[in-house]
């Protein structure tokens, strides 16, 4: 849908998509390159990650890059951390793939189509790396027992920990 609008100017009929059209048009009119549903594959802490960026907007002359993720439905702030992780990973991937210099900044944006809202953050390479690393440390400790849970565990009488 987005790709057809960008490439062929096929109309976006739904009234919620008018908001999307206006968001996209501001970049089309200013000689930005837009890439819809862009698959990227990159290394993240020795693992290969593959993701699909909803919309990547770039302008090399202005040294600007924007990564957008579209969401439908009601905005739930409790879900946003997952979305920020996803977008930060994409930003990190673009740094890793040398699409951005480590000194560059990248804007990441969540657009809630139904609510016609957008929220955004601006990241450096180190911002992205540190953010992802903080999650990596948490995820890498699955093998460590949570001793606070022992008194509630059904196996506490036979456990050897």
The structure's pTM equals: 0.77
Q: What is the pLDDT of residue 52?
A: 96
Tokens of 100: 């951005």
Cβ burial of 99 (10 Å; 0-12, 13-18, 19+) is: middle
When pLDDT is cut at 50, 70 and 90, the band that residue 145 belongs to is: low
pLDDT at 108 over 90: yes
pLDDT at 12 over 80: no
Q: What is the mean pLDDT of residues 94-117?
A: 89
Whole-number mean pLDDT of the chain? 84
């Amino acid at each position: 849908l987005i790709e057809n609008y960008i490439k062929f100017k096929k109309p976006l009929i739904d009234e919620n998509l008018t908001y999307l059209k206006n968001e996209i048009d501001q970049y089309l009119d200013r000689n930005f390159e837009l890439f819809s549903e862009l698959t990227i594959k990159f290394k993240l802490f020795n693992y290969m990650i593959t993701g699909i960026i909803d919309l990547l907007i770039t302008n090399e002359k202005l040294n600007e890059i924007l990564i957008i993720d579209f969401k439908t439905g009601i905005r739930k702030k409790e879900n946003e951390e997952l979305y920020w992780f996803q977008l930060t990973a994409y930003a990190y991937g673009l740094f890793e793939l040398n699409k951005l210099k480590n000194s560059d900044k990248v804007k990441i944006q969540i657009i809630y189509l139904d609510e016609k809202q957008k929220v955004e953050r601006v990241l450096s390479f180190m911002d992205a790396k540190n953010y992802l690393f903080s999650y990596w440390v948490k995820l890498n400790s699955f093998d460590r027992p949570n001793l606070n849970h022992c008194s509630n565990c059904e196996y506490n009488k036979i456990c050897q920990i």
